Amino acid sequence: MRAADHLTLRPATPDDAGLLAAWDEEPHVIACVTDDPEATSASKGDDLSAELADQSDIFRYLIAEVDGRPIGAMLDIDPAREPYGYWAPIGDGFRALDIWIGEADALGRGYGTRMMTLALDACFARPEVQAVLIDPLTSNVDAHRFYRRLGFRPAERRLFNDENDCLVHRLDRADWAASRASVA
Ligand SMILES: CC(C)(COP(=O)(O)OP(=O)(O)OC[C@H]1O[C@@H](n2cnc3c(N)ncnc32)[C@H](O)[C@@H]1OP(=O)(O)O)[C@@H](O)C(=O)NCCC(=O)NCCS
């Protein structure tokens, strides 16, 4: 019998800029950031190299590797302090996550669930965190199903940056404790 894949999450470094930029061109990644059918990149023109060089506890990229092969990424954010004011107005006690599997052949194999489980455990290991937020497009119903299986609940429909129609979901500490055993 084949041994189980070993999945790890590691902090991204400036050397990951090319990898992240390549994933931004993947159609399934583009589809999760915009409803524009003409879009050809998921990049919003942010300076990725600068972001990777200036990471902190407030705004950090993580890279998921399966048996040493990078397959996807996450963002782990303190929404009250992140520099773009994306989540404002918001108080303390939250983390915000984003997740995308870049390698198309790694979709739908349970890796996303394992990535979220690792990241959520890290979020709730911080005693001050009461809830974790995510902002899937309202149209991304596959992702809604994925998040709800992890215990997230829809919280608010919100237009971000005057263009992205999102259905914000939140996972409260008690709900994560309740669903943790079933996704482990
Ligand atoms: C969402 C995502 C991280 C889930 O990771 P995964 O490893 O594919 O998912 P798992 O195998 O753990 O779980 C499967 C579930 O993921 C969701 N999913 C699968 N492919 C997906 C895709 N291309 N886009 C969105 N969700 C997807 C479905 O809910 C699926 O459940 P189902 O069997 O009921 O259809 C991953 O599919 C992905 O990166 N999708 C594209 C980017 C994206 O939509 N990110 C979320 C932005 S808010």
Q: Is residue 109 lining ligand 1, measured as CB closer than 6 Å?
A: yes
Beta strand 59-66 with 94-101: parallel, antiparallel or unpaired? unpaired
Mutate to test the pocket of ligand 1, among 142, 160, 169, 179 (most ligand atoms within 8 A of CB): 142
Instruction: Give the start-to-end residue ranges of the domains of the chain.
Output: 7-183
Read off the pLDDT of residues 168-178 as tens digits, 9 standing for 90 and up: 999 999 999 99
| The CATH number of domain 7-183, selected from 3.40.630.30, 1.25.40.10, 3.30.300.30, 3.40.50.720 | 3.40.630.30
Read off the pLDDT of residues 92-136 as tens digits, 9 standing for 90 and up: 999 999 999 999 999 999 999 999 999 999 999 999 999 999 999
Buried b / exposed e over 140-150, threshold 16 CB at 10 Å, is beebbebbeeb
Which atom of ligand 1 is found nearest the CA of 147? 29
Which atom of ligand 1 is found nearest the CA of 113? 12
Read off the pLDDT of residues 44-84 as tens digits, 9 standing for 90 and up: 767 899 999 999 999 999 999 999 999 999 999 999 999 89
H helices present in the chain, as ranges: 17-23, 27-33, 48-53, 111-124, 141-149, 173-183
- Among all chains, which residue has been given the structure tokens 């902090």? 11
Alpha-carbon gap, residue 76 to 98, rounded angstroms: 7
